[in-house]
Amino acid sequence: FPSHDIFLMRYSLFLLMAGKTSFFMMLGGTFQYGLNTTYFISPVKKTIRLGDSGRNITAIKKRLFATGLYASTDTSVYFNQALEEAVIQFQQSHGLKPDGIVNKSTILEFNVSVKDRIQQIMLNMERCRWLPHLVSAKYLLVNIPQFKLYVYDENGLAFNSKVVVGKETNRTAIFNGLS
């Protein structure tokens, strides 16, 4: 990340701590619900998708409404088109497969509290300090947890691809070639 991006992340966290709700909504709630609020959604054995019904769907709608992704005030037990679009946006912003289908991974992300999300952001900001300051407009970046390679040029993202990474017993080497 260029140093400007790190500044923006730190500034965003400052705004969060100062009570600016627009950034806070991206984290999963509004200040009226507090930092420890979690919209707990019960784990399911099967996926939930467009056309389904069930009590979890009301909880999902409330969770997405709190983040601003679901604009409707409908709290019925039916999975409608508006909910599917909100789920897709949520999945995209959390690095999940954006298919609009609520599965175990999506429910795990729904159940992360705002306090835990703030701690995650703070940890990632610290990790950003470890990254080298990029001096070139051309570089590649491997996101190990995401199993993805990103290649950047002067115009931004030029290419991305899946990659194979190591395991706990045979870790992926982390390095930079800017020395």
pLDDT at position 67 is: 83
Which residues are within 8 A (CB) of 99 and not within 5 positions of it... i.e. 6 or more apart? 88, 91
- pLDDT, tens digit, for every residue of 81-138? 999 999 999 998 888 899 999 999 999 998 888 778 888 888 877 877 776 666 677 8
Q: What is the pLDDT of residues 132-178, one digit of tens each?
A: 666 677 888 888 778 888 888 888 889 999 988 877 787 777 666 65
d(CA 129, CA 41): 35
Q: In the block, which residue shows the tokens 């784990």?
A: 43
CA distances from 52 to 67, 79, 101, 138, 155 (A): 22, 5, 10, 46, 43
